[in-house]
Every structure is written in structure tokens, then in C-alpha cells.
Amino acid sequence: MAKIRSYKNKKNETRYEFQLFIGTDALTGKKRTTRRRGFKTKKEAQLTLSRLKLQVENGELETKGASRHETFGNLYDLWFKQYKNTVKESTWATTKRIFRLHILPVFEKYRVEKITVVDCQKAVNAWFENGLSQYHRFINYTAKVLDFAISMELIDRNPAKQVIIPRNTQNTVQQNLENYYDKNDLKKFFKFLKDADLNPQAYIFFRLAAFSGMRKSEMLVLKWSDINFRSNSISITKTQSRGAGNRLVIQTPKTIRSERTAYIDAKTAQILRNWQKEQQKYLQAMGFPIGDNLVFSNEKNEMFQPVKPQLWLKYVIDNFDLKKVTVHAFRHTYATLSFAAGASIKSVQEQLGHSSYKTTMDVYTATTKQEQNEATKKLARYLDF
């Protein structure tokens, strides 16, 4: 009977291994065994052992080298079972969609030992040429499955890690930074938003977005208990995500920095207070319980779908001929205008919950360059020679 044993690798890390009897060679009469090692958990080793035992019983694993003919699709299934237990539901649900839509259509039927660097290079090139912005992510996930194949001793090297990643020559950082409203644009937007025939929550939503820098996914799960009107602060501890079956789930933020306290100005706080009173009147009239309700909710007193703010925004832009931006633009707007108003890099980073200092610096650098350019233009107009 095969036993799972623990051992220490060169880095003194605990790993698990086993050796399984798979039959007798018909020609030599020698016993055949297969060995697997490098598992990080005993559960991972047990799952692999169970699968191999089943293959032996079905006559699918007759020699030591037979398992090397495993398909990428089968290996992905085994890898995903382990992966699913290490991340949040929204993360593994997204990963599953990525494999189903982009990776498995390319590699599913390949035998892992037959996948070459050329195969991987062709795949990443095709994703890039088809305009799929997450091509880096696709090849990285492919590499994770092939790393798993190495730990199972099915292959000796990872071809996905040897490709040349295509580079987008367009300045995507600059494109993202241009996705914002300046002071005049923002004033016009709110003027037209008030005139638009929309749910009154639309104005409050974008006011909060522009004056706090909160993410859409953070605002859509915001509850009244998260807002402290004494200090005009908001406790951000959760976010809206997509789970299995494309259902909406509420979970903790992805990074530690995303859990934070954000501050709002007195006028925005008053707008929220007024909305709270109006919302309570509506809920009472409709027979809903009054308590710790969502700040933004649909007619059933449930979370809005994440597309709702986008529809509000599109309506205003299309009907009033405004600059086209995304909902996320209001986060960039907060950062850009805060720097223009003289806020420090540190304060903006903490307010926005940027996990990377570089993200905040990109916005700051773009803002200061605009100011420098404007200063140069003013000087030239003044000198006039």
C-alpha cells in the first residue's frame, strides 16, 4: 500500500511524496512503480495518489512513462482543485472563466510533454494580436499548470516561461491617466447630471466617487453603518465581486491597503444625509425594514448590478455630448484634481488605497507635467516675442 511521506527540500521546506506500484512488466517480470514528489500539502499528494490508483485499476497506467501522456486539460482539472482552496471565490471564478474562454481552447487536448516553447509563443502572440489586454495573465496561468506538471515529474521544464512577451507600444498608462475630468468638465457633468431624467441615486453616486476616490465596487456594497457623519469618514472593508455562476458576492478587499478609512467633505456628507432620509421614506412606503441598509440599492432594496453606474454615465455623456470617460475615471479625477489643489502624494495614496506607490506617482507625475506645460505656455504668451 502506497504511503505518503514528508521530507525536506534544499530550502528546508516540508514537501510530500509517495511511490505507487503500478504493475508488472510483461516482458521482464519486474515490478513497475511510479514516484511523485514536491507536493506542498498532504491533501494535494493524496488527490494525486487517488487519481493514479484509479488509472491503475482502469489499466491506464501500465508503465512508468504512461502518465507522461497526460493532457493539459486533465492536468488543469487536477491543478484547479488545489488552486480553488487557496483563493477567494471571485478569484477562482475569474480564473475558471479565463481558462474556459482563452486557455483551454488552445491547449486542452495537448499532451503536456508535447507542448513546446513555439506552441506557447504562438498562443501569446495570438492573444496579443486579437487585442486581448490580459495576454500576460493568460500565459502566466498556463505556466502555473505546467509548473504543476513539473512537480508531478511529468515534464522537466516549463515552456511557457521561455516565451517572449509581446509589448504594447501604446502608452497605456498615459491613456488611463487621460481618462478623467478636469475641473470644468466635472462642473458641467454634475450640472447635466442634475438635469438628466435619472434615478436620484446617480447624482449621489458620482458625487461620492468624485469627492472620495472610492472604487465602484466599494460604493455598491456601502452601508450606512460604514459612514461616520461625526468625522465625515467612511470605513472601507468590503467590495463587490463576481463569484461562481456569475453571481454577485461581497468579500474583503484584495489588498491590505484597500481596507482603509476614506474622508469626505462636509457638503458631500450633507448630500448623503439628505439621501438617507429620502431613502428611508421610500423603504417605509414599500414595506421594507429600516435598518443598516445599503446606501445604493435597487427597487427591491438589493445591490445594484455593477453595470448600473456605467449605464447612468453613458446616458449623461450621450445626451449632453460630454467627454467620454469610464466610471473609474472619477477615481482618476479625484487623484488628479487633489494634486492640482496641492494635496500630498502620501495623503492621496492612503485615501485611494493604492497598493503600489508607483500607481499614485504616475498620476502625480502626469499632473505636474500638465502644470509645467501650462506655465511654459503662459510665459510665452506674456513675453510675446
Structural domains of the chain, ranges and CATH numbers in brackets: 1-69 (no CATH), 71-169 (1.10.150.130), 175-379 (1.10.443.10)
User: What does the pLDDT average to over 335-359?
Assistant: 83
What confidence category does residue 269 fall into, taking pLDDT thresholds of 50, 70 and 90?
very high
User: What does the pLDDT average to over 103-110?
Assistant: 95
What confidence category does residue 59 fall into, taking pLDDT thresholds of 50, 70 and 90?
low
How high is the pLDDT of residue 30? 66
Tell me the percentage of the chain whose pLDDT exceeds 70: 86
Answer yes or no: pTM beyond 0.75.
no
Nearest to 267 by CA among 215, 204, 219: 204
Q: Which residue has the higher pLDDT, 54 or 261?
A: 261
User: What does the pLDDT average to over 335-362?
Assistant: 82
User: What does the pLDDT average to over 205-228?
Assistant: 96
Q: Which residue has the higher pLDDT, 294 or 2?
A: 294
How high is the pLDDT of residue 230? 96
How high is the pLDDT of residue 369? 60
What confidence category does residue 342 fall into, taking pLDDT thresholds of 50, 70 and 90?
confident
Residue 362 has pLDDT above 90, yes or no: no
What confidence category does residue 63 fall into, taking pLDDT thresholds of 50, 70 and 90?
very low
Residue 19 has pLDDT above 80, yes or no: yes
Residue 365 has pLDDT above 70, yes or no: no
Q: Which three cell numbers stand for residue 181?
A: 475630468
User: What does the pLDDT average to over 172-193?
Assistant: 81
- Give per-residue pLDDT as tens, 120-166: 999 999 999 888 888 999 999 999 999 999 988 888 899 999 999 98
Per the prediction, the chain carries an average pLDDT of 86
How high is the pLDDT of residue 344? 84
Residue 109 has pLDDT above 70, yes or no: yes
- Give per-residue pLDDT as tens, 293-327: 999 999 999 999 999 999 999 999 998 989 999 99
3-class secondary-structure state, position 110 = coil
